[in-house]
Amino acid sequence: MGRSPCCDKVGLKKGPWTSEEDELLVKYINQHGHGNWRSLPKNAGLLRCGKSCRLRWTNYLRPDIKRCPFTLDEEKLVIQLHAILGNRWAAIAAQLPGRTDNEIKNLWNTHLKKRLISMGIDPQTHEPSKPITNPPASPSTRHMTQWESARLEAEARLSTESLLSHAHSSVILDSDHFLRLWNSEVGESFRKNKKKEKIVCQSPISQASTSTTKFASTSGLTVENRDDESICKTIIKSESVDANTKSDSSSSNEVEYTTESALQLLLDFPGSNDMSFLQDPIQEFSSIFQSVMSQQLNLI
DNA sequence: AACGTGATCAACCGCTTGGTC
DNA sequence: AGACCAAGCGGTTGATCACGT
C-alpha cells in the first residue's frame, strides 16, 4: 500500500539545475510545449522527474517571470491579498503578473511576516497581536467573517435598492461591486476555503441570521427586518452563476476579466493605499464597504 | 582568515484536487 | 461509485550567501 512515487526515481538527478539542463528544458518546451510533464524529461533528454521539470519551468525558466526584487506596491498587494486569501499562494500569485507562488511564499516567510510582527500585527490574523479577552478567531474564520459581513451588507443594500429599483434598476445592477467580487475568483477562493474549514451550514437561513448579527456588530451598521430567505436564494444564485462560469471553458477570458476587475475594485477602494488598514482589517473592510455604499447610493 | 549565525530562495515532498475511465 | 493518474499546491528543507565576531 502507500502512495505510488510520482515517477521512477532510480537514476534521476536531484538538487540544483545546471545551465545545460535549463537549456534542454527551455529548448524542448519552446519547440513542443510542455505537454505531459511525466513524459517530458525522457523526451527532452533530461534525467529529472516530471515534477522537477514542471517546478523549474514554472518557478524559474518561464519567460514571463520577473527576476527583479518586489516593489513596495507588490509587497503591499501581497499583504492585502493575504488578509483576504490567507496562505493560498497560488491565488495571490495569480494577481501579481510575473510572480510565482513560490516567490511570494518566500517573500512572505522571509520579509513580510517579520515586518508585520515588528509592527505588532499577527501575520496570520492581520490583527494587532496584543492579548485579548476572547479567544482569537482562526485566519479562515476571520476571512469568512469579512466576506460574510461584506456580502450581507451587499444584500442589505440590494434590499434598499429594490425599493428604488423602479426608477433606477439599470444603474443599480451595473454598480453592484460587491457581488461581482463575490462571484470572482477571489470570492470563489474564499468559498472554497469555507468548505475546507468544514464550517457546515445545515440551514442557510440560520447562517445568514448569525452572519447578520456578526456584521451588525463589526460594521456598526444597523440591519433590520432582513428577509433571510431571499438572502439565501441570492447566495445560491450567486453560487450557481459561479459554477456555470467555471464549467464553461469557452468563457476563460470572461473569468480573467472578472478576477482582474474584482481585484481592481478591491484595491481601488478609498483608503486602500493607506497602510493603516493593517491595524484593523475588519474595521477597514467595513469602512471601505460603507464608503463604496455611499458612493453608489449617491449615484441613485 | 576562519568560524558562526542568520537570511534567502530554489527545490523537494507529500497531500489535495480534478479529470477520466 | 470509486480507482487511477496528472497536475497543482503549500509546507519544509537544505545549499548558498552575507555579515558579524
Quick: pLDDT tens for A27-43: 888 888 888 888 888 88
Q: CB atoms < 10 A from the CB of A8, how many?
A: 9
How large is the average pLDDT for residues A74-100?
Answer: 86
Helix (H) or strand (E) holding A143: helix A139-174
Domain-by-domain residue ranges, chain A? 19-61, 72-118, 139-299
pLDDT for A7 beyond 70: no
**Within 7 Å: CB of A146 and strand B?**
no
- Which grid coordinates belong to A253? 477570458
Cα-based angle A11, A12, A13 (whole degrees, multiple of 5)? 120
- Confidence band, pLDDT 50/70/90 cuts, at residue A47: confident
Q: Which residue has the higher pLDDT, A70 or A145?
A: A70
> Chain A, 259-298: which CBs lie within 7 Å of strand C?
none
In this prediction, residue A225 carries a pLDDT of 32
Of the given ranges (A48-52, A109-113, A186-190, A205-209), which has the lowest mean pLDDT? Answer: A205-209
Question: Which three-class secondary structure state does DSSP give residue A128?
Answer: strand
pLDDT for A224 beyond 50: no
Same fold for the pair A19-61 and A72-118: yes
A19-61 topology per CATH: Arc Repressor Mutant, subunit A (1.10.10)
CATH of the domain spanning A72-118, picked from 1.10.10.60, 3.20.130.10, 3.40.50.300, 1.10.3720.10: 1.10.10.60
In this prediction, residue A130 carries a pLDDT of 59
**Within 7 Å: CB of A138 and strand C?**
no
Q: What is the rounded CA–CA span in Å between residue A131 and residue A138?
A: 15
Nucleotide nearest to A86 (CA to C1'): C10
In this prediction, residue A145 carries a pLDDT of 46
Q: What is the rounded CA–CA span in Å between residue A100 and residue A52?
A: 15
**Within 7 Å: CB of A22 and strand C?**
no
Of the given ranges (A109-113, A154-158, A172-176), which has the lowest mean pLDDT? Answer: A172-176
Task: Return the percent helix, strand and coil in chain A, to nearest 5.
Answer: 65, 0, 30
**Within 7 Å: CB of A55 and strand B?**
yes
The integer distance in angstroms from the CA atom of A107 to the C1' atom of B4 is 25
User: What is this structure's pTM?
Assistant: 0.56
